[in-house]
Every structure is written in structure tokens, then in C-alpha cells.
Amino acid sequence: MPIYSALQHGWYSYPDLHFQYHSNKQEIMSWLTWNKKNHNILRVNSWQKAVVGCPYVHYRKLHSLKKNPDASGTIFYPQHGTKKSFVDRNYNALVQELKSLPSLYQPITVSLVYDDYLNDKIRNKYEEHFSVKTPGDPLSDRYILNFYTILHAHKYAMGDDVTTASLLAIESRIPFFLSKTKSFSYRSKISGKKSWLNSDSKKKFHSIKIFHDLFGNTPITSIDKSTIDIVNEELGIGQASHIIKIYLVIVLDYINQLFKKRIRITKN
């Protein structure tokens, strides 16, 4: 049976806007969210939503994936672009900051999302100075395994913004911190025009500011319990709806989609 319900695919830094956008387009009937906070934000009927937790964490625990005992260096996760936009940043300043990190955090490896990795201009900016890796196509069966294989090979994690990888590093008990060089903007791949969304405008969102303050931009060697608790809350650990409720949301959405298809066929 195909699943029509929308599964939250990553950490939503501003879930209110995300859900409002899709609600206005009326393209999604039901949702499977990571946590109760997002579940409660959704303005749909109770049978149209359920909490399932973070799929990455479920996979990691199912396969007993952990940080390698001989992990070393730092994995850097730069904010990534989309199908329609790319991230414009000061690469020289970022590279110099990464190179100047104390020896404890060396060597640096950069992990790029698949589209950025396939873009020679973006990949070469990093590849001239560091090892560059990618977990590959996010639709691949091995994507999550590849992600954790790269992450768990490193002792520390770092980024120029708070992303899904930031939270997953903490959940794996890998200290994460932000770079000091974290000014960037999004530009259209077609026109090159800047989007209204950039590093400064994102920090105006309360949810983003909380995590920027939480992680800070000073290299760390350990994680305090309060950080772990906050991250676990975002990942929905221990918050999943009852399995019957989850199945109910999926099945009812499936039936609803079949009903809508029959109506369209009848009209034609």
C-alpha cells in the first residue's frame, strides 16, 4: 500500500511557516511529524496527524550504530542549497577559520548534500583544502547508513548553521559547535537574485536563535545534559504516538486518496 502521508524529512527550524505554506497549497492531507510540538502546530484533524519520532534515530538504534572508538577530526556541515537556489557565502573566510582550528579538531572533512557535491563549483571550493564527502542521494536505501558512517568517523561536528545534522551529531554524543563565519544568503540558480531568506533573517526566528545560542561558536569537547535534553525533544525521542494511531492516519489518508481519485475519474 503506497503511503500518501507526508513524513517530516528533516528538522524544521521554523515549523509554523513550513506547515502554513503547505496548508495554503492544500497539497498534503496528513502528516507524520518528529515531535509533539510540530504535531500540535498542525491545524488539521487529529486523524490526519501522528508523531513518529526522527527516522534517523530509529535507524541508528535499530542497527546499533555508534561513534567509532578511533574517531578523529571534525566533520563540517555547511548550510546547503535547494533544487532552485544555491548558498552564497564567503568561502575564503570560512576555509581560513576551519584551517585555523586547534590541532585537536584536525583534520577537517566537509560533508555536502548530494546536489552541492555534484556541483563542481561548490565542491571545488572545499576540495582544494579538505577531504569532501557526501552521503549520496537522499532517496537511496543507503543514505542514512552513509550519513552515519561519515558522522561517526569523526570526534567533533561543526556547521555554519543549525541543521538536521547538528541535532543528529548531539544525539550520537558527538560535540557540535557553530563556526564564527556564518553569514550566507540564498540565490536563485536561474536569475542569481538574492532570496529574502539569509543567515541574518533566519536568526530573527525565535526557534533559530535558541539553537544558535545553545551551540555557540566556541569549539567544545563535551556536551552538557541540558543540550542533550533539548535536542532529544526536537528529535521526538520518547514522544511517538501509539502504533495503532500511526497506522490509522496512514490508512485513512490512503482511503481518502482513493476516494478523491474515483471522483476525478467519474468527472472525466
pLDDT in tens, 132-162: 999 999 999 999 999 999 999 999 999 999 9
CA-to-CA dists, residue 102 to 17, 74, 76, 154, 186, angstroms: 39, 11, 15, 15, 30
pLDDT for the residue 84: 81
Segment 212-240 mean pLDDT: 94
pTM over 0.95: no
Judge whether residue 4 has pLDDT over 80: no
**Residue-averaged pLDDT of the chain:** 88
- Give the residue among 59, 18, 54 at the shortest CA–CA distance from 232: 54
Judge whether residue 268 has pLDDT over 60: no
Segment 106-120 mean pLDDT: 96
Q: Which of the residue ranges 19-23, 165-169, 181-185 would you say has the lowest mean pLDDT?
A: 19-23
Distance in angstroms (rounded) separating the CA atoms of residues 98 and 189 = 27
Quickly list DSSP for 5-52.
SEEP-S--SSHHHHHHHHHHHT--S-EEESSHHHHHH--S-GGGEEE-
Strand pairing class (156-159; 49-51): unpaired
Sheet holding 31-33, edge to edge: 6-7, 31-33, 49-51
86 vs 205 pLDDT, higher one: 86
Judge whether residue 194 has pLDDT over 90: no
Q: Which domains does the chain have, with CATH numbers?
A: 6-53+236-267 (no CATH), 59-221 (3.40.50)
Judge whether residue 187 has pLDDT over 90: no
pLDDT in tens, 72-109: 999 999 998 877 888 889 999 999 999 999 999 999 99
